[in-house]
Amino acid sequence: MSPAPPAWPSPWPARPDTSPPPVGGGELTRHLVGATQQPLRLVGDTVHTTVDIDARATAELEGEARRGAYHARAFLDLDDLEADRNPGAVYGVYLNLPDDPSETDLAAHHIGNVSLFGIERARNPRGDEHAHGLHVSMEITGLLDRMAADGSWRDGDHLDVAFRPLTLEAPPGQPELAAQLADTGHPDLPITVGRVSVHLA
Amino acid sequence: MTLALPGRPLPQPGHPVRFSPSERTLHSLRLRHPEAVPAAVVVGAWIALVLLGTGVPGVGASRPAGVPAGSMPGMAGMPGMTGMPGMAAAHPGTPWWSQALGGLPDWLLMVVAMMGPAALGGLRHTGINTLRWRRRRAMAEYAAAYLAVWAVFGAAVLGVMAVVPARLTGYPTLAVTLGGAAAWQLGILKRRSLRACHRSVPLPARGWPAERGALRFGWRNGLACVGSCWCLMLAMVAAPAGQLLWTAGLAVLVTAERWVERPRRVTRGAAPLLGLAAVGAAAAALV
């Protein structure tokens, strides 16, 4: 049996002591515990937003956990991603990133990437299929466990989410290429992130 | 979320009271399928339509004596419908707006039955993307805004029907509306409206933004639904008799368009059938 996972700060519900059920052994029921109130606009700069965790929602899950329900996996979802066209930009998504992060911090707090490949066809499919929005879901259980274990995560009421544009590094000695790659702006093709939400499953 | 059972002790920290298997099943069903209660409401609407249409004693007071079974409640007693099979005599002197508003409750009952299955997807999306403690309110807000759109459309349709002369109604009108519905099925506006039915809007978590979000989602979904299905609804209203059968048939079409993986096959496949029905109605008008 695996060791008990570290406790997450209040108001997150208590973690079960037993090992998690095998992945794929049953359908997970996800419960919304927090979401942003306003859409985000990405135009090539780093953007921060805060997801407020709802204490009433987590209290309900705490009550269920005492009745044997299992809620131990957390997910961060990006809902209703919209843009007129794919701007070609890719954003790294980071959780509770420190101010002025080092490369080590970026690697440690990175939870996934988001791009808008396929946005045009999602809303207007060529074939005979229904339109759909773009939606990205990233599991954050491991990162939350690490942050709780090393004590860097004490405020359970909020999660800070950062979107940083990713680009390539130019080889040494090519300043023009480096400057070109550093220009990640796409103000004419903004990306709208309708909602950033956190779920517990 | 606690299931209220008489005599069941409240769980205390350190003394867990576990779900029984049946409780767990019911609880899991409610969490995984928040649309289950609205689905039951849709079933109830169909039961009410059938009972009102067949004139079960004690039920269906809205269907006056002499109106045959299968006629839709709310369609009876409308001016211009005198002598039409399935329609009761008109009430001369009643303002058109009064008759339009008077028919709205039955119209909305029909909308719930006919459009309800197609709207369950939006209700489910609202439910699972809302904090659980306000889930019911959010789904009710979605439903209220969705029905409000159809109420506006219904009031307009009923108001027009109240002033249309009797000689212009019946099978000729049915033939025209069925032909229009067949043509609409093949158009790009139908396709865009059907795609818009699958669009969602961001749902904030709390406060007035959350209430506005659910209402906005229901309103936009309702507008898309009206844009997709308005011709079919007109054909159903124009049918001089057997509206219950028309409602059931068109409800199957609308639901299939929304649920199947290949919607264009259903949409385009329905066009020739509607066209044939239009020809049949035109032939009946000539008889």
Q: What is the pLDDT of residues A112-125, one digit of tens each?
A: 999 888 888 887 78
Nearest CA among A71, A67, A64 for reference residue A30? A71
- CA dist., res. B112 & res. A102, Å (int): 57
- CA dist., res. B4 & res. B253, Å (int): 40
- Residue-wise pLDDT for B203-214, tens only, equals 999 999 999 999
Best mean pLDDT range from A52-56, B244-248, B258-262? A52-56
Which residues does A146 contact at the CB level (< 8 Å), separation at least 6?
A: A108
- CA dist., res. B113 & res. B116, Å (int): 5
Which residues does A115 contact at the CB level (< 8 Å), separation at least 6?
A: A86, A89, A90, A91
Which residues does B192 contact at the CB level (< 8 Å), separation at least 6?
A: B227
Name the β-bridge partners of A48: A162
- CA dist., res. B237 & res. B244, Å (int): 10
pLDDT for residue B190: 93
Please report residues of A whose CB lies closer than 8 A to that of B194.
130
Does this complex have an ipTM over 0.95?
no
The answer to which of A64-73, A90-99, B48-57 has the lowest mean pLDDT is B48-57
pLDDT for residue B120: 95
| Length reported for chain B | 287
- Residue-wise pLDDT for A28-54, tens only, equals 788 999 999 999 999 999 999 999 999
Residue with tokens 């349709």: B157
Q: Taking residues A95-121, what's their average pLDDT?
A: 92
- CA dist., res. B167 & res. B285, Å (int): 11
- CA dist., res. A47 & res. A93, Å (int): 10
Reading the block at residue B232, the tokens are: 């079919």
* Chain A: residue whose CA lies nearest to B134: A57
Please report residues of A whose CB lies closer than 8 A to that of B135.
none
Which run of H or E residues covers position B107?
Answer: helix B104-128
Q: Taking residues B211-226, what's their average pLDDT?
A: 97
- CA dist., res. A194 & res. B122, Å (int): 17
Q: How far is CA B115 from CA A55, B60, B251, in A?
A: 36, 21, 7
* Chain A: residue whose CA lies nearest to B129: A32
Residue B14 identity: G
Binned at pLDDT 50, 70 and 90, residue A21 comes out as low
Q: Is A126 on the interface with B (CB under 8 A)?
A: no
To the nearest 10 degrees (0 to 180), the angle between helices B207-238 and B243-259 is 130
Mean pLDDT of chain B: 81
pLDDT for residue A17: 65
Q: Is A79 on the interface with B (CB under 8 A)?
A: yes
Q: Is A176 on the interface with B (CB under 8 A)?
A: no
Reading the block at residue B23, the tokens are: 């409780």
Strands A158-166 and A47-53: antiparallel
Q: Is A105 on the interface with B (CB under 8 A)?
A: no
Nearest CA among B116, B163, B129 for reference residue A196? B129
In A67-171, which ranges are continuous DSSP H helix? 103-109, 119-123, 141-150
Please report residues of B whose CB lies closer than 8 A to that of A56.
131, 133
pLDDT for residue B20: 66
Interface of B with A (CB under 8 A): 1-2, 11, 13, 16-19, 28, 31-32, 128-133, 194-196, 198-207, 209, 261-265
